[in-house]
Copies of this chain bind each other. A is one copy, B any other.
Amino acid sequence: MSENPVLHSHLVRLSYGDTDPAGILYYAAWFPKMEALQSEFLFFQGLRQDRLKEDFGWWTVSRATSCEYLAAAGLFDQIRIELRRGSVGTSSFAFDFTMRRVSDDVLVARAVSTLVTVSPEQSTVRIPELLHDHLANWGSSEWAAAHAITGADALA
């Protein structure tokens, strides 16, 4: 996982629907929460997923997702999900996620979402310059210090 600065975060409370008959987090529950954090971050950066194609002539699709479950998380636990820039390739880049329980600061899960840049017809393309500049900025601690938006701020 990257040591890059935090770009965006949400606080979530695990609810009945997130937990399974064993009373612990349903393994698939993180993915929509990761997506909500990533989508909101990109939206704040002027990169609405639903308009990339028409606005810029390229868009992104998911290439891979992975998640490790490190500690049991249970009903009503409050979790901070943090988003960082992950590795950057020629035509793909990643966001890294950490899920940390607020009450004891335990890392309960970490995950990676890898995206690939594509043409409107979904052929892989090199990362466009606009996005490349964003990725360079997102990796800098200066950017993060100046721009990071917390979940609470986002909702204020």
Secondary structure at the A interface, as helix, strand, loop or mixed, is mixed
Q: What is the interface size of chain A, counting residues whose CB is below 8 A from a CB of the partner?
A: 45
A interface with B by C-beta (< 8 Å)? 11, 13, 15-17, 19-24, 26-28, 31-32, 35-36, 39-40, 43, 48-50, 59, 61-69, 72, 75-76, 78, 113, 122, 151-152, 154-156
- Using A13-B36, A39-B15, A72-B122 as known contacts, say yes or no to A22 and B62 having CB atoms under 8 A apart: no
A64 touches B62 (CB 8 A): no
Q: How many copies does the complex hold?
A: 4
A22 touches B49 (CB 8 A): yes
Extra contacts, 7 of them, besides A17-B20, A40-B76 (Cβ < 8 A), are A13-B40, A19-B20, A21-B23, A22-B50, A28-B31, A31-B31, A43-B76
Give me 23 A-to-B residue pairs in the complex whose CB atoms sit less than 8 angstroms apart, sorted by A's number.
A13-B36, A15-B35, A15-B40, A16-B35, A16-B39, A16-B49, A16-B50, A17-B35, A17-B36, A19-B21, A20-B20, A21-B50, A22-B50, A22-B61, A24-B61, A27-B35, A28-B32, A28-B35, A43-B76, A64-B66, A64-B67, A65-B65, A152-B156
